[in-house]
Each structure stands twice: as C-alpha cells, then as structure tokens.
Amino acid sequence: MNHKTFIFLMILSLESLNPARGQDATQLVRNLKSKLDQVSSYEAEGTMKTNVPFLKVPAARVKIFYKKPDKFRVKNEQGISLVPKTISSISLNSLVDGNYSILDAGREVVSGQSLRVIKLLPSDENQEIVLSTLYIDEKDLLIVRARTTTKENGTYEVELAYGKYSSYALPDKVICRFNSKDYKLPKGVTFDYDDGSNKKKEDQAAGTKGQVEIIYNSYQINKNIPDSVF
C-alpha cells in the first residue's frame, strides 16, 4: 500500500467515527419526528392479548387513545383490562420528544431486515428513561423496534409491524415486552382450591417477563379527543 492510499483509508475510517455521521442520525430522528407529528391524535380499535406468567386473562377488545404530546390510554369499554404501565412506550412520539443526545450505533439485521440503530440519551439526568435504542427502517421512516432502559422498571421492548397506516407511522401490530414484579398475594386473603397439580412450579419456571400484544383493527386519525378520556 502506498502513502496516499493509507491516508485515504485513514480519512475514510475517521469519517465513520465522525460526529458528522451523527448529524445524519439527528436528521434521521428529525425526519422521524416530522412523520410522527402528522398524527396529533387518534382513536383506534384493536385486540389486546396478555401473556404474563401470573395473569390468565382472555384476549380483549380494546380502544386505544392518543393525544399529543404524551397522552396515551388503552381502555376496555366492555370489560376489564389490566394494562401494563409500560404500554405508553408504544407511543413513540414521547421517545423522540425532549432533549437528548443522539448516538449512531450503526446497523443491525433484525428478522432479515437491515435497520439503522440510533441510541437516545436523555439530557435530563432526573428523567426515568436512561437510554432508548431505536431500530429504524430508514427507507420508510418507521421505528420497527424500540428498547428502553429505565431507572425503576428495568428494560422493556416494543416491536412494531406496519401495514396500511405506515404512512402515518401507525402500526398494525405492537408487541410490548417487559419485566413484571414477582406476584405476591397478601397472605390469608384467600384459601385456594388445591387440585393436586403443580401449577406454581411451572409458573416460577416461566419467570417474570410479560408480553402484551395489541393488534390494531382500525384508526380514526386526528380525531378530536377530549382530555377527560385520559
């Protein structure tokens, strides 16, 4: 290799570490935010499936409400739904709002798809969120996965799949995975029927990771939603 070639290669490699690439990332995030900002509110209907070791609940028909900047609510108007507190992470707008440092973490292949990986570090140290990692489909400007680490509630992950509402960055299906605290029933509250099976052991083996999946059936975008809904 001659002298000139070596310098050229060095410059190239330095370019890859160049904050100027971070700007690329910033622009990406900015573009993402603009796309997300198209939707100032929505009311969606969907089905929520809960898969948490200590919760045995039927799949539920739910309504999902969103209002800028950070109002998010999942409601079961016909019955009861236990909604995990991390559900608001589905609303990606809050992720890309606020002050944070953006770090370009390169690319990663997820489920055969090459995705851009951007890390967001909130500037405010007092915030609950410590770090967010976004996996972005650069071409369609869609967040496919988001992993968020928090101070109090550990790390949770959101996976999104898009369909006919992809132009609004509104997913067809969202899977939210989270840690749930170990289930404890206050002693003496209830006597259980012991049918002789070893259910408790099975559940303990399953661990305390939970998953909630919402399949969106329809959206009413930018509908006027009163604050009282939230």
Partner 1 sequence: MWTLLQIELFKIFKRPRTYISFAAIAAIILIIQLGLKFDGTAYLQLLLSGIADSFYVPYETILNGYLVAFIILNTLLIHLPLLVALVAGDVVAGEANMGTLRLLLTKPVSRTQLLLVKFTASVIYTLLLLIWMALLALFLSILFFGTNDMLIARNTGMEQIEKSDILWRYMAAFGYAAVALSTVAALAFLLSVMADNSIGPIVATICIVIVLTILSELRIPMYDNTVKPYLFTSHMLAWKGFFYSRANQEGQAIRGSIENLPAIGRSLGILIAYIVFFVSTAVILFRKKDILS
Residue 96: phi and psi, rounded to 5, are -95, 5
Q: Does 57 bind partner 1 (CB under 8 A)?
A: yes
Among 29, 39, 84, 116, which residue interacts with partner 1 (rule: CB under 8 A)?
A: 84
Residue 203 three-state SS: helix
Q: Does 210 bind partner 1 (CB under 8 A)?
A: yes
DSSP for 168-206, written as a single string: GT-EEEEEEEEE-PPP-PPTTS-PPP--S--HHHHHHHH
Q: Which is nearer to partner 1, 125 or 152 (CB)?
A: 152
User: Are the beta carbons of 174 and 159 closer than 8 angstroms?
Assistant: yes
Q: Which is nearer to partner 1, 186 or 226 (CB)?
A: 186
Q: Does 214 bind partner 1 (CB under 8 A)?
A: no
Q: Does 228 bind partner 1 (CB under 8 A)?
A: no
Q: What gap in Å lies between CA 44 and CA 74, rounded to an integer?
A: 9
Nearest CA-CA partner of 227 in 95, 64, 68: 68
**Alpha-carbon distance values, 9 to 5, 69, 187 (Å):** 6, 45, 68
Among 111, 112, 181, 205, which residue interacts with partner 1 (rule: CB under 8 A)?
A: 181
Among 21, 30, 85, 107, which residue interacts with partner 1 (rule: CB under 8 A)?
A: 85
Q: How far is the CB of 48 from partner 1 (least distance, A)?
A: 10
Interface mask (CB under 8 A) for partner 1, residues 17-56, using x and -? --------------------------------xxxxxxxx
**CB under 8 A: which stretch of 7-15, 78-86, 106-114, 161-169 binds partner 1?**
78-86
* Footprint (CB under 8 A) of partner 1, residues 115-174: 153
Residue 68: phi and psi, rounded to 5, are -55, 150
Q: How far is the CB of 206 from partner 1 (least distance, A)?
A: 9
What amino acid occupies position 84? Answer: P
The span from the first CA to the last CA of the chain, in angstroms, equals 65
DSSP code of 222? T
Q: Which is nearer to partner 1, 3 or 184 (CB)?
A: 184
Q: How far is the CB of 132 from partner 1 (least distance, A)?
A: 20
**Alpha-carbon distance values, 102 to 16, 32, 88 (Å):** 15, 13, 21
Q: What gap in Å lies between CA 45 and CA 57, rounded to an integer?
A: 19
Q: Which is nearer to partner 1, 14 or 193 (CB)?
A: 193
Positions touching partner 1 (CB under 8 A) are 49-59, 76, 78-87, 153, 178, 180-181, 183-186, 189-197, 199-200, 203, 210
